[in-house]
Amino acid sequence: MFGGEKRTESEKRLDGKYFVTVQDRDWYWRAYLPDGEDRDHPACNIFGPRSRTLEGLKFPKSLVVVAGLDLSQDWQLAYVDGLKTSGHEVKLLYLKQATIGFYFLPNNDHFPCLMDEITSFIHSNCS
């Protein structure tokens, strides 16, 4: 989960529509971050104004799955862009009609797609 002080378009558009509100996310960050810190803390906003570069760090190939109906999708997509900009290999699986937590429910259309992508990603990186 990623975030930052700036509100993104997806946070504004999807606030409260699919299980989670911006207020919920803000509470999670207040509970997690050190006292007195805001959402631009590097643990929350990995490519934010107070973060260090990931360039040159040993970093594994990554598969990032983004649900198109998750209010934090803009932060997740920024994470993908940040990894690419830092020279890291990342594969994005964007599921436009998936909601947050869809992977907990194997009876939806997105679950088999996710399992296939994970299998393919693992197999392609283990040979």
Give tens-digit pLDDT for 42-51: 999 999 999 9
3-state secondary structure of 93: strand
Q: Count Cβ atoms within 10 A of the Cβ of residue 83 and give its class: 0-12 exposed, 13-18 middle, 19 or more buried.
A: buried
Q: Are 45 and 51 in contact (CB under 8 A)?
A: yes
Query: Which pTM value belongs to this model?
Result: 0.91
Q: Give strand pairing partners of 64.
A: 92
Question: What would you report as the CA-atom Rg of the chain, rounded to the nearest whole angstrom?
Answer: 16
CA distance linking residue 95 with residue 98, whole number of Å: 5
**pLDDT tens digits for 68-99?**
999 999 999 999 999 999 999 999 999 999 99
